[in-house]
Each structure stands twice: as structure tokens, then as C-alpha cells.
Amino acid sequence: MWGYRSREVARLLGLSVNQVRAYVRAGFLPARRGPRGELRFSFQDLVLLRAASGLLKARVPARRVKRALLRLKQQLPEGKPLAGVHIVAEGDQIVVREGGAVWQPESGQVVFDFEVSHLAAKVAPLVRKATRKGTGAGELTVEDWYRWACDLEDGAPEQAREAYRRVLALEPEHPDAHVNLGRLLHEAGDVQEAEEHYRRALKVRPDDSTAAFNLAVALEDLHRDEEALEVYEQAVAADPLNADAHFNAARLCERLGRHAQALRHLGAYRKLTRRR
């Protein structure tokens, strides 16, 4: 059930079906097959295909495009929302942009700051249609719903929340669905329900630094600073390289009059950010 067919991909990206298949044959993407042997593509594949098409039109040699896309794919694991990614040719350089971070996938070197991407908005209607088809037939698995939810996040957050709820109806202790649903609820202003989902994720996966960090931010938004600081400490215990958690903890410690603790976190933050 999950994934985009060649015809859908061609329409979304302004390519012919033959071009899509040619890119697969050229090795830009692995050939995934559906139950009837048809090609199926993930949202990550769509991002990479669009990048390949644009780079080839910009006359970047196919060998360099393939190498850059393979490196990019390694740096962006499956399951991560990718709508913030954009890839362009700047002069003779291939540059990847994700949120505020920009790098060259061939070298990993940071270049400059940027943000963008609109593919998720174009994909959202297809995802909504597919999930509606799957609802009555009961054919969608937990993994299907989770992947559709990730695809919907940037283009249709309300539908993404519904898809994550379907994941949790099938698998109530799915930690990633709890974290992602919590974040979407938090962004929508429902901080208390977001808190509940972050806590449920941590119950299943106590060393999840992202869930702990998000929970601490939610507790701050609820003006529960003492609890928030305790959870920031949990976040850095799980991941000592979490610079944002150190910074927020330092700020809270200063507010609460814990100056020595504030200096410790601020020192860790400065040390980590100097590495970047």
C-alpha cells in the first residue's frame, strides 16, 4: 500500500514515466517493487529524484550527481521528515540545504545558512487519497501509517496528526509516533497533550534525548521550570552532545538562581558549538 507509483512520481516532478525509470536504471535510486512488481518510491526518493533532475538540467555531470545523492541518502536516514531539504547546483558545486544547515554532500562541508522546500505540499493530496483508500479495507500496516504520517507533516500537519493517531491505535507504545505527534500538537498550541505523548515515548524509550528535550520545552511553555530543568538534565544525560539542551538548561539555571550549574551547562554548550 505504501509508496508512490512511477506515474504519480512523473506527474509530481514534471518528468516522463520513462525518465523516472531511466533514473532508477542509472542507479540514482534503488529499485523497490510493490506486490505486483511495480516500482514504488518513498518520499525520500522523490526528494532525491527531483534533485537529480534539477542537477542534470543544470549540466552537472551524472557521475557527480550520483555520488552526491548517494552521500546525501546516507546522511538523511529513512523515517526522517525531509520536506525541509533542497538541493541545488551553485556554480560547479552541489549544495544541500536542510532548514538552517547547508552542506556539500560530497565533502560534508558547511557552506551557509538557508531554509525551504515545497514538495510535501504537492505530495499531501496523494497521501490523503491513499490513506482514505486504506482506511476501509484495513490494508495499511503500522509502518504504512507511520511513513504516510512522516510524508504529510510539512504539507498537511492536521492529516499527519491523524495518521500518527492511527499508528498509535494499532501500536499504542510506538515511541517515534508519540514523539512526532507530540511535536505536531506542540506546534499547534496543544502543549498539555504534547506533554502526554512525550512522556509516553520516554516510558518506552527512557534514553530518548529528543523526547526528553521536547518534553522540557513543553514544561517551560507550561511555566513549570523546576520540572523542565530536571528533564533537560535527562536529555543531556542521554546525549551529552545535545547543545540545545545544555543551552536551555543554562538559561533555566540562571533564572532559578543556580549559577554554578548554569556555568557548567554553558561551558558544555560553548565547547560543543566551537566544534561546528
- Render each residue's pLDDT in the chain as its tens digit; 276 residues: 567 888 888 887 787 888 888 878 877 777 677 767 778 887 777 777 777 777 677 677 777 777 767 766 666 545 555 555 666 655 555 666 665 555 565 554 433 222 324 566 677 677 667 666 655 445 678 988 898 888 777 667 888 898 899 999 999 999 999 999 999 999 999 999 999 999 999 999 999 999 999 999 999 999 999 999 999 999 999 999 999 999 999 999 999 999 999 999 999 999 988 855
| Among 8, 248, 255, 258, CA closest to 268 | 248
Report CA dihedral (121, 126, 127, 132) to the nearest 10 degrees: 140
93: left (phi over 0), alpha (psi -120 to 50) or beta: beta
What per-residue confidence (pLDDT) applies to 114?
A: 26
pLDDT at 3: 75
- How much is the pLDDT for 78? 53
Q: Where are the CATH 1.25.40.10 domain residues in the chain?
A: 120-274
pLDDT the model gives residue 88: 60
- The whole-number pLDDT of residue 168 equals 96
Mapped onto helix, strand or coil, the DSSP state of residue 103 is: strand
CATH fold for domain 120-274: 1.25.40
pLDDT value of residue 156: 75
- Report angle CA 241, 276, 263 to the nearest 5 degrees: 55
Q: What are the cell numbers at 121?
A: 505540499
Is 1.10.1660.10 the CATH number for 4-117?
yes
Identify residue 103 by its one-letter amino acid code.
W
- Which residue intervals of the chain bear CATH 1.10.1660.10? 4-117
